[in-house]
């Protein structure tokens, strides 16, 4: 019997590459349209972009220098030589296509790099860049993570995202029509959102045709607008058990062929204001797994799928 209650990233990597693959974080000196003045300068209310820069990163470092450091650590710890280069600072498709191609290819040329993982916004991939990603997707493994965050326009507006649900739908459509693999980045627990809005978001994920979803509970990060509101008592946060219940509701409504890349996010402890329980990622993951078992539910059950429909490690 298939014992996986959701389609994990580990299972997907093993089925795709024949072994475990580790994402190594690198930065490319990016910015984003809500910070560079194109759409605004304040950024999303929950974001302190320093939190998404890899620990080892210094602005003068090349992609190769970063990969040397990042892979050395993972190589020693896990005795592996299989990596995905994960560009994760700001909006990593938001540059001219020539600079991006140079940067992505430099990463792909590094020993042990099996492909690219790129985090970005739905409104920040130009047609030229999409065409580049189409070409790269034919040559190697590419996974574009779209920060759709929510399926509700009111939330996106409140969070100062600067894009709409329609932008998310269009981005999925354009990327998929070029054969580019995507994943959706979703945050659960935004102010003003309840279970109902989270269920709207999972419907968007299912309809999009995406190959993956990354779940994260809302973090309050230092030096953000959201931290100011939280300190004034204007933001309510979920308890760990409430998050586990909501994440489980989400998972049991997610189609079983969508990889659940993660069930909770991680904030650097030095930057986290609240909730305190978010520091212990493993405990949150275990709580979600327990909730799945306790309910005897699994990914897609609510859509009528059997547990055997979830791909297992071959
Ligand atoms: S969440 Fe992304 S798009 Fe929003 S401000 Fe931060 S880096 Fe920019």
Q: With 0-12 CB in 10 A as exposed, 13-18 as middle and 19+ as buried, what is 86?
A: buried
- Asked, for residue 305, whether it belongs to a domain, the answer is no
Cβ distance 99 to 92 under 8 Å?
A: no
Digit-coded pLDDT (tens) for 57-97: 888 899 999 999 999 989 999 989 999 999 999 999 999 99
Residue 71 in contact with residue 10, Cβ under 8 Å? no
Supply the residue whose CA is at minimum distance from atom 2 of ligand 1: 90
Instruction: Report if residue 312 sits inside a domain.
Output: no
Split at pLDDT 50, 70, 90, the class of 51 is low
Residue from 49, 162, 164, 222 whose mutation best tests the ligand 1 pocket (most atoms within 8 A of CB): 49
In the block, residue with structure tokens 């959701």: 6
Residue 314 belongs to some domain of the structure: no
Q: Give distance in angstroms: CA of 131 to centre of ligand 1.
A: 23
CATH of the domain at 138: 3.30.750.200
Q: Is pLDDT at 55 greater than 80 in this prediction? A: no
Q: What is the pLDDT of residue 1?
A: 42
Q: Who lines ligand 1 at CB under 6 A?
A: 32, 34-35, 43-44, 47, 49, 90-91, 121, 147
Beta strands in the chain (DSSP E): 22-26, 83-87, 113-120, 141-149, 181-188, 212-217, 220-221, 259-262, 272-274
Whether 2 is covered by a domain: the verdict is: no
Query: What confidence score (pLDDT) does residue 101 get?
Result: 98
Q: Which atom of ligand 1 is nearest to the CA of 121?
A: 3
Q: What is the pLDDT of residue 200?
A: 98
Kindly give the number of the ligand 1 atom that is closest to the alpha carbon of 46: 1
**15-45 pLDDT, tens digit each:** 999 999 999 999 999 999 999 999 999 999 9
Overall number of domains in the chain: 1
Rounded average pLDDT over 223-250: 97
Kindly tell me if the per-residue pLDDT of 215 is higher than 60. yes
Residue nearest to atom 7 of ligand 1 (CA): 90
Is residue 281 scored above 80 in pLDDT? yes
Q: What is the pLDDT of residues 106-131, one digit of tens each?
A: 999 999 999 999 999 999 999 999 99
Which of 43, 92, 222, 271 best tests ligand 1's pocket when mutated (most atoms within 8 Å of CB)? 43
Q: 259-271 burial, b if ≥16 CB within 10 A, otherwise e?
A: bbbbbbbbbbeeb
**Res 54: pLDDT:** 76
Check: CB of residue 23 under 8 Å from CB of residue 70: no
Q: How many CB atoms within 10 Å of residue 196?
A: 8
Distance CA 288, CA 244 (A): 5
Q: If you search the block for the tokens 């609510």, which residue do you land on?
A: 302
Confidence at 142, pLDDT banded by 50, 70, 90: very high
Quote the pLDDT of residue 313.
84
Q: Whose CA is nearest to atom 3 of ligand 1?
A: 32
What pLDDT is recorded for position 169? 98
- Ligand 1 centroid to Cα of residue 151, in Å, is 17
Spatial separation of the C-alpha atoms in residues 221 and 271, rounded to whole Å: 6
Task: Supply the mean pLDDT for the chain.
Answer: 95
pLDDT value of residue 50: 78
Which residue range forms the structural domain that includes residue 175?
9-299
Domain presence at residue 231: yes
Give domain status of residue 180, yes or no: yes
Does residue 217 form part of some domain? Answer: yes
Please tell me the least confidently modeled range out of 121-130, 136-145, 183-192, 267-276: 267-276
């Amino acid at each position: 019997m298939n014992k996986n209650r959701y389609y994990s990233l580990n299972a997907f990597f093993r089925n795709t590459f024949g072994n475990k693959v580790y994402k190594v974080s690198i930065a490319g000196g990016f910015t984003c349209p809500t910070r560079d003045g194109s759409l605004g300068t304040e950024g999303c209310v929950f974001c302190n972009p320093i939190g998404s820069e890899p620990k080892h990163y210094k602005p003068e470092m090349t992609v190769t220098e970063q990969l040397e450091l990042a892979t050395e650590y993972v190589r020693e710890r896990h005795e592996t030589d299989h990596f995905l280069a994960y560009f994760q600072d700001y909006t990593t498709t938001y540059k001219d296509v020539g600079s991006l191609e140079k940067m992505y290819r430099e990463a792909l040329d590094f020993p042990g790099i099996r492909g690219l993982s790129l985090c970005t916004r739905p409104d920040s991939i130009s047609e030229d860049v999409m065409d580049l990603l189409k070409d790269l997707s034919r040559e190697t493994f590419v996974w574009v993570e779209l920060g759709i965050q929510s399926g509700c326009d009111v939330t996106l507006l409140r969070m100062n995202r600067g894009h709409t649900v329609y932008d998310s739908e269009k981005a999925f459509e354009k990327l998929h029509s070029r054969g580019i693999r995507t994943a959706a980045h979703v945050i659960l627990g935004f102010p003003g959102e309840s279970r109902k809005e989270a269920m709207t978001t999972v419907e968007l994920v299912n309809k999009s045709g995406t190959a993956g979803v990354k779940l994260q509970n809302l973090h309050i990060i230092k030096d953000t607008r959201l931290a100011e509101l939280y300190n004034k008592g204007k933001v309510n946060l979920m308890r760990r058990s409430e998050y586990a219940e909501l994440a489980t509701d989400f998972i049991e409504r997610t189609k079983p062929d969508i990889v659940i890349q993660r069930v909770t996010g991680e904030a650097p402890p030095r930057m986290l204001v609240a909730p305190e329980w978010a520091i212990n990622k493993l405990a949150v993951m275990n709580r979600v797994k327990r909730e799945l078992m306790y309910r005897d539910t699994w990914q897609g059950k609510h859509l009528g799928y059997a547990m055997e429909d979830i791909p297992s490690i071959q």
